[in-house]
C-alpha cells in the first residue's frame, strides 16, 4: 500500500457555473518497471452538501478485460479503458460493465458554503 498526500485548493462557483452538485472525478495511473503507463482505476465522489471538514472515501475500479486483454496488458502495458467517461457517472449503464475493485483514495475536504441564502438555496 502506497500513501502520499497532495494538497489542492479548488474553488467552485456552483451558483453560476455548475449543473448539479460538484463531484471529484479521478483516473489513477501508475508506471511499471519499463516506464509504461497502466490504468489503475477510475473513481468519483460527490462533494458534501453541508459545511465543515469531511473525510471522503473514493472507491476506484477498472474494467476487467478478457483473458487476451489481460495478457496483452501484462506484457505490453495499457489495458481496457472506458471509451465514454459519462458511463462512470451513470448508475443505469455502469452496472453492465465487468469491473474489478482497485482500492480507495482518501480525500479530506473542507466545505465552505457562502451566499447561498442570498440565492434562496437551502442546504443541510
- What are the pLDDT digits (tens) for 24-66? 888 888 888 878 778 888 998 988 888 889 999 999 988 887 8
State how far the Cα of 107 lies from the Cα of 102, in Å rounded to an integer.
16
Q: What do you get for the CA distance between the two ends of the chain, in Å?
A: 36
Read off the C-alpha cell for 74. Answer: 501484462
Beta bridge partners of 52: 111
pLDDT at 13: 61
48, 91, 83, 41: which is closest to 62 by C-alpha? 41
Output the pLDDT for position 122.
65
Instruction: Please give the share of the chain, as a percent, with pLDDT higher than 90.
Output: 6
Locus of grid cell 483473458: 67
Kind and range of the H or E element at 93? helix 91-94
Amino acid at each position: 500500500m502506497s500513501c502520499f498526500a497532495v494538497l489542492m485548493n479548488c474553488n467552485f462557483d456552483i451558483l453560476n457555473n455548475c449543473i448539479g452538485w460538484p463531484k471529484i472525478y479521478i483516473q489513477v495511473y501508475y508506471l511499471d518497471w519499463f516506464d509504461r503507463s497502466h490504468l489503475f482505476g477510475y473513481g468519483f465522489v460527490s462533494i458534501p452538501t453541508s459545511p465543515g471538514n469531511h473525510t471522503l472515501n473514493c472507491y476506484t475500479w477498472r474494467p476487467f478485460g478478457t483473458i487476451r486483454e489481460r495478457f496483452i496488458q501484462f506484457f505490453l502495458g495499457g489495458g481496457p479503458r472506458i471509451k465514454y467517461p459519462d458511463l462512470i457517472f451513470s448508475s443505469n449503464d455502469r452496472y453492465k460493465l465487468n469491473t474489478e475493485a482497485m482500492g480507495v483514495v482518501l480525500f479530506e475536504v473542507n466545505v465552505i458554503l457562502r451566499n447561498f441564502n442570498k440565492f434562496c438555496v437551502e442546504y443541510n
